Each structure stands twice: as structure tokens, then as C-alpha cells.
Structure 1
Amino acid sequence: MVRPGGLFRLLVLLLQGSLLLLATARHGRAAGCPLRRKQNQLNSFLWTIKRDPPSYFFGTIHVPYTRVWDFIPENSKKAFQQSHIVYFELDLTDPFTISALTSCQLLPQGENLQDVLPRDIYRRLKRHLEYVKLMMPSWMTPDQRGKGLYADYLFNAIAGNWERKRPVWVMLMVNSLTEVDIKSRGVPVLDLFLAQEAERLRKQTGAVEKVEEQCHPLNGLNFSQVVFALNQTLLQQESLRAGSFQIPYTTEDLIKHYSCGDLSSIIFNHDTSQAGPFWVRARGICWLPGTSAFLSLLFQKSAALQPLSCTQAAKVPNFINATLPAHERITAREIDSYFRQELIYKRNERMGRRVKDLLEEHPDKSFFFAFGAAPHLFHCASTRKL
């Protein structure tokens, strides 16, 4: 039972890191996790606040829903069905969200990327995008083509107007343009699927955040930090193309952990000499804290094209490591510290306050809050895992 006086503190704890797994795998790739298909053997990422009627927190994962839906237990689906009001991180079905996001990404009027980036980085970026456009037809699946998703259309949907985007958004865009990510396009991510289901069931829906609250911190990085991040991103992509680098943890690893109901084996790694900074440590999920649903909408251009999942939108390179020069390690740690403050601490308190207010304003309603799962999410004795 949650005591009223402790509700706000509880909610802040529940939301701590709720939209990402700031993590590296403890034992390398996910291994030896047999996928159990009996419903009574499936672990649940559903928690309850015991009141009358009860309200729920559900931990989502930002991958195509078809990859995990069969492994979500019936108790979670039943809680969703029976709830009166469903809340997400952002309103995934509101056209204004897309419009605001598009505006947020653009450089000031009259500026182009070529005008603001160092010449070498701009040339490398353009060369990499030309490579992606050339390769994309071979990355597409027959199923995608059958749904009307073709290479030119998909490339333009993701990278169209890239010369007008702010460098930080171009960095995220580059990391969404990989073969694995392209092959997964066309199916709603779990969050969006739940939003569509809520709309179909005519449930009342809402969001605990606004686009600008997640967008502005990204645009708040200073120019040298953004150039550093974009350069590291290009270096990683160039190494992947050359075959000299392999991402150690994949979306497949995360899907397996989630489907087995086991995110505890993916932990936060404090060894910053070996791991990336706070905002890029996760492997196979959203690598920017607090932006999962936000980035799942990142490059949507039309209703016919499903939004990018967080895994597709926010993969960024492993910045902090022992091989970086001292001044670059300082830059990486500054970025790390900035995002901790803006997208974790401030954000958690803001979200917690809003959830608390909703529960207190509607004591006779059952809420279903669908936020991204994390290994340290809901570790609180005041909640009961169903």
C-alpha cells in the first residue's frame, strides 16, 4: 500500500531513469534465457498503486511491438484493458507533437548545416549519407516493400531536409540509418501500439511531458560539445563500415531480456574509463536519457510511415574511454553531467509531480502509466509487482 504522504517520493523513485537502461550488460550478450511461452511463467513489468480503484505503472520497451507482445503477461494486458485513463511520456498520436518536434530540430532561419559545421566533418557526413542512400535498397525487406515502404521514400522520410537540421539531430539521424534499424521500420513500437489501442478502445489518454521539455535540453548543448559528439558518431559509423568495430550489445539482446522478464542482468556501469558517458551507455535501446517516446517520433514524416523506435533514433557512440585525449574526455564528461542534470534529475521530479497530481485529482479513476522500463525502475518496497 502506498501511503499518501510518501506518494511523491515514491513516484520520483519509480520514474528514476524510467525511459532508458543506462546500462551495459553484466555478462556480455544475453545468453541462456529460455523464452517461456506459458502465461503463468512470464514475468511482468507491471506494478500497482493499491487504491480503489488501483492504478498501474507498466514498463515498456521501444522496439516493434510484434517482437515482444506475445511475451507480455495477461495481467499487464488486463490492467490496460480495465484502466480508465492511459498516460504516456508524450502524446504519440497528436499531430501537434510531430509539428513541434520538426520545428525543434531546425537551425535558425537562413542557416544551413554547411554554414555551421567544420568543413571536414560536413564532407564526411555528406559522404556517409551518400553511402547509406546507395545501400538502402539492399537493406529493405520484401515485407517492407509489400507495405509500400521503398528505399527512396524511407531515406527521405528519415534524412530529408538534413542540411537544415541542427547538428545534434543530425547525429541522432546518422545512428538511425543502419541496416538493422532500417529492416525494423514499418511496425509500431510498443508505446505507439498501446497509444493506438487506447485510441481504438476510446480510452482517455494523455502525456506527462511536452515536446519542448525534452527537446530544449538537447538543443542546449554548446557548439563544441555537439561537434565533438557528431565527430565521434561519424568515426563509429566509419569504423563499422570498415569492419573494424562491432557494437557489443544489440537490440536483440534487450528484446530477449525483456521477453524473459529479466532486465536485472543489464546494469549501470560506473567504469567510465571503459564505458560511454551516462547518456550513451545503453546498448540496443534509447541512448539518451529521458527521450525515448520523444525520439520514437523523431523522423516521422507521414501517417503512412511508422515512427522510429528509440533504438533506431538515438544510438550514439561510446564517447568516454581511455584512448581519448584528455581534453576530449573532459568534453565527454561535461556532456554526461549536463544530461544527468537536465534529463534525469530535473525531469524525474517534474514527471513525479505531475503523476502525483493526476492521481490526487482523480481518486475515482484507474490510471495506466506506460513508461520505458529500466532495471532500477520500481525498486521500492511501497509497490507490489503483480
Structure 2
Amino acid sequence: MIGPPNQRGISVKRVTLLLAVALCAFSGLAQAQSEEKVAHKKPFLWKVELPGAKTPSYLFGTIHLPDKRVITLPKVVDKAVERCDALYCELALEPSLQMKAMQHMMLPKGTTLKDVVGEKNFARASAMLSEKGIPIMALQQLKPWAFQSQVQMLDYMPQLQAGVKPLDAGLYARAKQAGKTVGGLEQIEDQLSVFNSMSEAYQKKSFGEWLDALDEAKKEKVSPLEKLIEGYLEGDTKKLSDLVKEEMAKSEDEESKKLMKRLIDDRNGTMTKRILELSKESPDKCFFFAVGTAHYPGKTGILAQLEAKGAKITRLELGDADKVE
């Protein structure tokens, strides 16, 4: 939801993945190409027969990035999107969402990033942005976690400016343009309240650890996002599950543990409940659910929770387009 993690607290990539949908414009289309041109080796796509449903639905794991390799969809995923009657992401990615998100991302009037993270961390962040040709003053009103997410997306500024959007946003726009029902499994207020619940001391500590992780990655000439993308395209569920467990284990202090529980486990439960509700309300509809990949595996993941409720789930491979019903 792969890259250098912080020694304690939240990893750089997890903040990026969970928040990118709230930090970018919500338009653009996910692309479908021939099998020879796609980079996905094994898409995170499952066919799910939900209790009481009269037709199968589909679960798709995403990463919230606009990388071309990510948004160029395999035929099997493309066919599932075409087949569905309704498509739901974590959030209803409407234009109005960006304004709501910004309200949660900004520091109170009269408070700046330096006030929260301290002068030393602020100076380090300023130097980092200067290397990219961006004055920190443009972002100093953002809360630390929002600042981190914005900085991570700067690497994709050329794509974003060209109209290329994160995978989730592209899928949502495509479904809406096709006249399908669209919506979100969560509310933006609930999702971002996870980060707004962090104490100021914790935010300062985590911000410093984030800067340390970026410095380490720079020394090793390794891009955290590139590692993440490679892992996603590989499609190894066990590796992903092990990664989440590893990240959880590194959350040593109580605030980190509580935050990780709210970030992963609690949201898994919320989304699972909503998936079941939607299917029960419209048993004749084929749904396509697209949420962050890290929410699916593990004992508390969406897959296990749905199976516990009687759902039958089958992983689809690249060549399984004919199995999309």
C-alpha cells in the first residue's frame, strides 16, 4: 500500500498511497492496451460471488499513482470494468472532493509547518524542495502528513499537468462517462480524520523519520515509489501481506499502533460492510470495487472478511478475460 519504511510510525509509501486520491484533480481515464504492452504480470483482480447476489462482482487492488505502467490495464481488468453496472472506489472522486480534502489538509490560520515540525525539520524540508526548484512557502500551510503526500506526488507533476491521473480517479471517471453508477465506500472526513487525530509530538517525530527515509533512499539511489510500483506490477499477494505485517510490527509506540489499526484494520471493516450492503441493496448489479491493494490480504483484510460472510472469491489471471461474466 514497497520502499524504505520509517524506523517507527508510518512508512513514506503508505501515506502517499492512501492520500494521493485526495490530492490530485479527479479526471482522466485509465487506459486499456493489448497484453503485449501492459506491465502488469499478475493483476490484483478477484471475481467475487457475494451472498445473495445474482451475478458476480469484481474486486481490484490499486495504487493511487498516475504512472503509465500502472494505469495501462490488462485486458482482463478492462473487461471487468466494461462488464460492471456500478464502480466504487474508496472515495466518490467527484470534483467537489478536492475542496473538501483541502479543508482537512490545511493548518489552522496563524500556524505554519515550521511551528509543528520544528525549525530543524523545516530547514531540511526546505532544502529538499529547493533541489526540485520549489519554494517551501508554497506548501508551508499544509499539515505535515499532507505536505508529505504532496511532495511525493511532485515526481509525477509532468504527468499530472498533462492530464494523466491516478489509477482510481481514471477508473472512476471512465465509469461515470460510460453512464455507470459510481460512488465511494468511505467518506473523505472519515478517511482523513485518521491523520488529523495524530498528536503534534507524533507528527513532528514522524516528519523527521520521513526525511531520514528520503535521505537514505537518495544515498542508495533507490526510489521508494519505484519499488512500490515494481511490487504492485508483480502482483504477489503474499509479499504484500508480509509487507503490511512488517510495517505493523515496526509501529512500536502506542500511538503508531493505534494509527495503523485505524489506517488498515478499521477501514477494512468499514469497506467490507459497505460492499455487502451495496450487493444486498442491488443483487442484480455487477459491482467493480477498486481500493488500495493493501486492504485486501491478511486475516483482517477485505478478502478474508468477505469469505467469512459466505462470499466465494477467485483470483483472475492475465489470460482470464473469458472468465469475466
TM-score by length of 2: 0.70
Q: Are 1:171 and 1:229, in contact at CA under 8 Å, matched by a contact in 2?
A: no
- Corresponding position of 2:198: 221
Distance 1:172 1:200, change over 3 A: closer
In structure 2, how many angstroms separate the alpha carbons of the residues matched to 1:363 and 1:271?
Answer: 34
In structure 1, how many angstroms separate the alpha carbons of the residues matched to 2:79 and 2:245?
Answer: 41
In structure 1, how many angstroms separate the alpha carbons of the residues matched to 2:185 and 2:168?
Answer: 14
Unaligned runs of 5+ in 2: 6-34, 317-325
Unaligned runs of 5+ in 1: 1-19, 25-35, 134-154, 282-319, 321-330
In structure 2, how many angstroms separate the alpha carbons of the residues matched to 1:253 and 1:364?
Answer: 40
In structure 2, how many angstroms separate the alpha carbons of the residues matched to 1:131 and 1:162?
Answer: 15
Q: Write out aligned runs for 1:57-72 (5 A).
A: 57-64=59-66, 66-68=68-70, 70=72, 72=74
In structure 1, how many angstroms separate the alpha carbons of the residues matched to 2:171 and 2:244?
Answer: 34
In structure 2, how many angstroms separate the alpha carbons of the residues matched to 1:160 and 1:346?
Answer: 35
Q: Write out aligned runs for 1:300-339 (5 A).
A: 333-339=253-259
Distance 1:339 1:207, change over 3 A: same
Paired residue type of 2:238 = S
SS at the partner of 1:64?
A: coil
Q: Are 2:217 and 2:224, in contact at CA under 8 Å, matched by a contact in 1?
A: no
Paired residue type of 1:104 = H
- Corresponding position of 2:36: 37
Paired residue type of 2:57 = S
Give 1:38 shift.
9.6
SS at the partner of 2:253?
A: helix
In structure 2, how many angstroms separate the alpha carbons of the residues matched to 1:255 and 1:115?
Answer: 34
Q: Write out aligned runs for 1:114-133 (5 A).
A: 114-133=114-133
1:162 equivalenced with 2:139 (yes/no): yes
Q: Are 2:113 and 2:143, in contact at CA under 8 Å, matched by a contact in 1?
A: yes
In structure 1, how many angstroms separate the alpha carbons of the residues matched to 2:72 and 2:107?
Answer: 42
SS at the partner of 2:172?
A: helix
Which of 313, 322, 325 is residue 383 of structure 1 equivalent to? 313
In structure 1, how many angstroms separate the alpha carbons of the residues matched to 2:88 and 2:245?
Answer: 35
- Corresponding position of 1:107: 107
Greater fraction of residues in helix: 2
Q: Are 1:71 and 1:260, in contact at CA under 8 Å, matched by a contact in 2?
A: no
In structure 1, how many angstroms separate the alpha carbons of the residues matched to 2:234 and 2:217?
Answer: 30
Which of 264, 272, 275 is residue 238 of structure 2 equivalent to? 264
TM-score by length of 1: 0.60
SS at the partner of 2:238?
A: coil
- Corresponding position of 2:56: 54
Paired residue type of 2:314 = R
Which of 251, 255, 278 is residue 358 of structure 1 equivalent to? 278
- Corresponding position of 1:348: 268
Identity of aligned residues (%): 26
Distance 1:343 1:223, change over 3 A: same
Give 1:103 shift.
0.7
CA RMSD in angstroms comes to 3.5
In structure 1, how many angstroms separate the alpha carbons of the residues matched to 2:275 and 2:4?
Answer: 26
- Corresponding position of 1:206: 183
Distance 1:117 1:371, change over 3 A: closer
Paired residue type of 2:82 = Q
Distance 1:268 1:363, change over 3 A: same
- Corresponding position of 1:86: 87
Paired residue type of 1:87 = Y
Which whole-Å deviations, capped at 9, do the CAs of 1:97-131 have from their partners, x for residues lacking one? 10111010111223223444423223333333223
